[in-house]
């Protein structure tokens, strides 16, 4: 079977979608021939590529074709839009001449699902739409796009793409509920979680004491948010809670970067128990996960099911408790309550968050029990199991 995967970002891009696209390609390429149609690296790439109209490289049964899109830095939002448009302008005509049996599209650029449906229509091929972030809902929720004609047109085209898809693959039950609310046939909407890689049984991961010290400092209790500081989080609630938690010896540490970081650093000025650190190399992720007493996962109200923080699975694999600052409809809240690895707080209520954090910080037995529950839940979401589901979905779609 020949699979055509569409996504702007692909390594050496360092975005989460680029890394997941490569993971999906590796899984598909064990059985099938895969062609990736991506753009020039532009998302904090590990290396830059010179401009060519199209560049092609092979990796086993995978062929990577890079359209000569612009490669402006991702934080320059207006120029980032040029990256999107130049990629689509070059990718669509190239895709029409690439042989395939099924088309798989992700969500970079944010309207890639519509582009994939259009290409599938012209090529008369089955179409699998793997939604990583739900647009235009996400753009509206983050005030990137204002309600109006553009948003309505985008939503109308997106619903058309959803109806065109043979299968719609989503990251969680909360996102599935969002899609079903748009009138999509439930039989065509399938949950495939990102999952996490589990350490081999009996193995003991080695941790970097310098990374752990950099995160913990002299804090008695560390609540850690590791990941992108985008517009989706209840950041102001976290900072408001931090002011109250300072007297308890509780520190909130943010590891990562994003469009909200500068604003958050300014808002946190004067808070001695809030610290910001840059991303650590991927090889240090086990140490980052191990450094915290508990991890924060946050989704602000209105974005439940729009963004699904897949870092939850890595936290579970590390056997760490979760503080979910998110609406009840989010998977991290519902699964956490069912499995016993999380406490939840209303994303609009700092006092409730303070109460939840104090509860676990003052109860070592509860904290240990939550960590044990996290480790026990992790195997259910093992990444290879989830990838096998996706491979089966794509294979079945191609077979009609």
- Identify whether residues 179 and 46 lie together within a single domain: yes
What is the arithmetic mean of pLDDT over 231-247?
Answer: 94
What's the pLDDT at 158? 96
Calculate the average pLDDT of the chain.
93
- Identify whether residues 53 and 171 lie together within a single domain: yes
- Identify whether residues 388 and 310 lie together within a single domain: no
Q: Per the domain annotation, does 200 fall within a domain?
A: no
Q: Per the domain annotation, does 395 fall within a domain?
A: yes
- Identify whether residues 36 and 160 lie together within a single domain: yes
- Identify whether residues 117 and 255 lie together within a single domain: no
**Please, which pLDDT band fits residue 259 given cuts at 50, 70 and 90?**
confident
- Identify whether residues 30 and 161 lie together within a single domain: yes
- Compute the distance between CA of residue 350 and CA of residue 26 in angstroms, rounded to an integer: 43
Tell me the two tokens of residue 5.
């995967």
Q: Per the domain annotation, does 202 fall within a domain?
A: no
- Identify whether residues 389 and 376 lie together within a single domain: no
> Do 192 and 153 contact (CB within 8 A), yes or no?
no
Q: Is the pLDDT of residue 143 over 80?
A: no
Q: Per the domain annotation, does 293 fall within a domain?
A: yes
Q: Per the domain annotation, does 87 fall within a domain?
A: yes
- Identify whether residues 81 and 176 lie together within a single domain: yes
Q: Per the domain annotation, does 114 fall within a domain?
A: yes
- Identify whether residues 153 and 215 lie together within a single domain: no
pLDDT of 91-109, one tens digit each?
A: 999 999 999 999 999 999 9
pLDDT of 372-391, one tens digit each?
A: 999 999 999 999 999 999 99
- Identify whether residues 269 and 156 lie together within a single domain: no
* Domain housing 301: 209-381
Q: What percentage of the chain exceeds 70 in pLDDT?
A: 99
Residue in 125, 33, 143 with CA at minimum distance from that of residue 77? 143
**Please, which pLDDT band fits residue 399 given cuts at 50, 70 and 90?**
confident
Q: DSSP H helical segments within 56-143, as ranges?
A: 77-96, 112-123, 137-141
Q: What percentage of the chain exceeds 90 in pLDDT?
A: 82
- Residue 219: helix, strand or coil by DSSP? coil
Of all residues in the chain, what percent are helix, strand and coil, respectively (each to 5)? 45, 20, 35
Q: What is the DSSP letter of 279?
A: P
Q: Is the pLDDT of residue 131 over 80?
A: yes
- Identify whether residues 37 and 150 lie together within a single domain: yes
CB atoms within 10 A of CB 273: 21
Q: Is the pLDDT of residue 201 over 90?
A: no
Q: Is the pLDDT of residue 204 over 90?
A: no
**Please, which pLDDT band fits residue 185 given cuts at 50, 70 and 90?**
very high
Q: What is the pTM of this model?
A: 0.90
What is the arithmetic mean of pLDDT over 336-360?
Answer: 96
- Identify whether residues 336 and 230 lie together within a single domain: yes
> Do 83 and 69 contact (CB within 8 A), yes or no?
yes
Write down how long the chain is: 400
- Compute the distance between CA of residue 161 and CA of residue 174 in angstroms, rounded to an integer: 20
What's the pLDDT at 202? 66
- Compute the distance between CA of residue 16 and CA of residue 24 in angstroms, rounded to an integer: 12
> How would you classify the pairing of strands 33-39 and 62-67?
parallel
Q: Per the domain annotation, does 204 fall within a domain?
A: no
pLDDT of 149-167, one tens digit each?
A: 988 999 999 999 999 999 9
Q: How many domains does the chain have?
A: 2
CATH number at residue 142: 3.40.50.2000
Q: Per the domain annotation, does 203 fall within a domain?
A: no
Annotate 165-206 with three-state secondary structure: CCEEEECCHHHHHHHHCCCCCHHHEEECCCCECCCCCCCCCC
What's the pLDDT at 16? 85
């Amino acid at each position: 079977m020949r699979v055509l995967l569409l996504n702007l970002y692909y390594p050496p891009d360092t975005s989460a979608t680029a890394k997941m696209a490569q993971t999906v390609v590796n899984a598909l390429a064990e059985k099938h021939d895969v062609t990736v149609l991506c753009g020039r690296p532009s998302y904090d790439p590990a290396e830059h590529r010179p401009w060519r109209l199209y560049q092609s490289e092979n990796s086993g049964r995978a062929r990577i074709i890079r359209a000569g899109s612009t490669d402006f830095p991702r934080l320059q939002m207006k120029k980032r839009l040029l990256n999107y448009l130049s990629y689509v302008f070059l990718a669509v005509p190239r895709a029409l001449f690439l042989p395939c049996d099924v088309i798989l599209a992700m969500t970079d650029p944010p309207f890639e699902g519509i582009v994939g449906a259009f290409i599938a229509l012209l090529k008369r091929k089955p179409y699998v739409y793997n939604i990583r972030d739900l647009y235009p809902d996400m753009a509206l929720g983050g005030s990137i796009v204002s309600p109006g004609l553009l948003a309505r047109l985008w939503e109308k085209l997106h619903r058309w793409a959803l109806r065109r898809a043979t299968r719609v693959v989503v990251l969680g039950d909360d996102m599935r509920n969002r899609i079903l609310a748009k009138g999509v046939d439930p039989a065509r909407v399938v949950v495939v979680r990102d999952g996490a890689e589990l350490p081999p049984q009996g193995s003991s991961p080695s941790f970097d004491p310098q990374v752990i010290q950099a995160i913990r400092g002299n804090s008695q209790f560390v609540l850690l948010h590791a990941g992108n500081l985008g517009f989706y989080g209840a950041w102001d609630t976290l900072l408001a809670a931090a002011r109250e938690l300072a007297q308890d010896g509780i520190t909130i540490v943010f590891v990562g970067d994003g469009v909200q970081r500068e604003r958050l650093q300014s808002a946190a000025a004067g808070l001695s128990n809030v610290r910001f650190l840059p991303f650590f190399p991927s090889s240090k992720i086990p140490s980052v996960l191990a450094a915290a007493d508990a991890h924060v996962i946050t989704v602000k109200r209105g974005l439940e099911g729009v963004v699904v923080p897949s870092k939850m699975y890595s936290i579970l694999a590390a056997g760490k408790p979760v503080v979910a600052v998110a609406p009840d409809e989010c998977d991290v809240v519902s699964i956490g309550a069912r499995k016993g690895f999380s406490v939840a707080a209303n994303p609009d209520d700092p006092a409730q968050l303070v109460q939840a954090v104090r509860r676990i910080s003052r109860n070592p037995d509860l904290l240990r029990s939550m960590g044990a529950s996290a480790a026990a839940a992790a195997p259910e979401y093992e990444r290879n199991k989830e990838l096998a589901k996706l491979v089966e979905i794509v294979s079945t779609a191609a077979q009609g």
